[in-house]
Structure 1
Amino acid sequence: MAHMQPDALRKCSDPPPGPPPGLPVRKVFRSDPEAAGKVRRFVREQLAKEEPALTCEQVDNLCLIASELATNAIRYGTEPGDSFAVVVLPTPDEVRIEVWDPVRRLPRLRNDSDERARGRGLHIVDRLAARWNATERPFGKAVWAEVAR
């Protein structure tokens, strides 16, 4: 009978092959309606490699944050045919998700409203992340959020 290590019990999935944990990983996505789901899968695959392992709640929160930031990039930061990038940057103290898009206009947290169908994504990010912000980059911006380990 195999003996399981306590950390192995916390993993949400077995790590896929690829770059070693702890290195930033970037992937470019086409701006289309299916991109948010692809971003969630990419982030989940990268987080499965992390040591020490993240809890399922941390992984779920990071995937939701990445999805919300990607959705904003699709809706407000790209034009048809554009692309955007997602970066997963783990450190010993936190995991940072960045979404880069080609539009310089920085996002802003809007007041909550029951009358708008949109505008809640950054509120979700604000509640789940230890901190978040946006910075200008050459040829666009990066919107990032960090979740503590």
Structure 2
Amino acid sequence: MALTTQHFFEARPESISQARSFTSEALTYWGLPDRVEDIRLCVSELATNAVVHGTVPGHGFLVKLDAQEETVRMEVHDSHRQHPKARQAADTDTSGRGLILVAALADGWGVQDRTPSGKIVWCCFKPAGGMTVLLTPSTPDLRLLVSLAAWTWADTRPDGHEAAHILITRAPALTGSGTAETAEAGVQRLSASLGGLAGAREVVPELERCLQIFGDQVLLHVPGVSRRLRLPTRRPWTELVARNAEAVPLLGLDPLPQTADAVRIDAYLDAMLASDRLIFGRAQLR
């Protein structure tokens, strides 16, 4: 069954946060929480473009959401006919990355003319519950990706230089017979897709160029999977990743809830190191 809702906003800065709230409230009401944060980020970028570039005097913009069995489609309608183009912003630019971020987070996006005037910028997202994408055996299952929990922090290496760390584990939400073995195999496939992580007693390998920075956002790209894993970040950590052009991902083979605090994370890391169930790599910026 298809679900549809839309809302018109005036072309003013405060409408951008209102569009984000409208989007998250609608998706939560429909029971589709899987991609809320990704869709909120995209509607924020497209609404900003509409307010700054896409409206003529006296006009606003429209946000429309359509949810079907396999796809959530988000549209932003505005009154300007000129189509936006994704471009690679310079490091010193404070804006210009919006459509690059949309392309990274969404499973598809595009622009079409609107009758009688204006345009529609749309993007589509595939919720985990309705996913029908077929993956090759070597790629991690998309349901595994949406069940992952992640933490980031900075630490000092033995040589005195700071390193950016990423801990990725499974959230303990999977249940059923054989689940633990299947999920652990999935994490190992995730490791293989990234280029092969190694144990603490081995040489830490360099992985594929799988990190992308968009403003304050850092995304982990998994080869063979359309979705990116958005990492929890703070500005100093993101700046450290940019300076080093790399980060150190750690994959934990045992589950850990996303709500874990620093004390529990430290205990988890100690236990995983002692049991050789933590694997490491060096992920490069793309």
Q: Which residue does the alignment assign to 1:140?
A: 118
For the pair 1:73 / 2:53, whether they are aligned, the reply is: no
Distance in 1 between the 2:40 and 2:58 partners?
Answer: 24
> What is the distance in 1 between the residues matched to 2:14 and 2:62?
14
Secondary structure, counterpart of 1:24 in structure 2: strand
Q: 1:59: which partner in 2? A: 36
Counterpart residue number, 1:24: 4
Q: Quote the Cα distance in structure 1 between the aligned partners of 2:95 and 2:72.
A: 27
Deviations along 1:94-116, whole A, 9 cap, x unmatched? 11110000000001011231122
Cα distance in 1 for partners of 2:89, 2:18 equals: 28
Offset at residue 80 of structure 1 (A): 4.2
- Partner in structure 2 of residue 39 of structure 1: 19
Q: Secondary structure at the match of 1:122?
A: helix
Aligned to 2:63: 86
Q: Residues of 2 paired with 1:135 and 1:104: CA distance?
A: 9
User: 2:11–2:51: 8 Å Cα contact kept in structure 1?
Assistant: yes
Q: 1:95 aligns with which of 64, 67, 72?
A: 72
For these two proteins, the number of residue pairs brought into alignment is 126
1:44-96 alpha-carbon deviations (Å, 9 max, x no partner): 11101224x332xx111111111111000111101343211000111111111
Asked if structure 2 preserves the Cα contact closer than 8 Å seen for 1:22 and 1:50, the reply is no
The 2-side partners of 1:132 and 1:119 are apart by: 17
C-alpha distance in 2, partners of 1:48/1:116?
Answer: 34
The CA distance in 2 between the partners of 1:66 and 1:39, in whole Å, is 7
* Residue in 2 that maps onto 1:10: none
Report which of the two has the higher share of strand.
2
For the residues of structure 1 that align with 2:123 and 2:65, how far apart are their CA atoms? 10
Q: Which letter maps to 1:54?
A: P
| Cα deviation, residue 22, structure 1 | 3.6
Q: TM-score, normalised by structure 2?
A: 0.42
Q: Which moved more, 1:127-136 or 1:114-123?
A: 114-123
The answer for the alignment partner of 2:101 in structure 1 is 124
Larger Rg: 2
Taking structure 1 as the reference length, what is the TM-score of the superposition?
0.80
> Larger RCO: Structure 1 or Structure 2 (Cα < 8 Å, ≥ 6 residues apart)?
1
Work out the CA distance in 1 between the residues paired with 2:45 and 2:123.
Answer: 11
Q: Is the 8 A contact 1:87 1:97 kept in 2?
A: yes
Partner Cα separation in structure 1 for residue 62 and residue 48 of structure 2 = 12
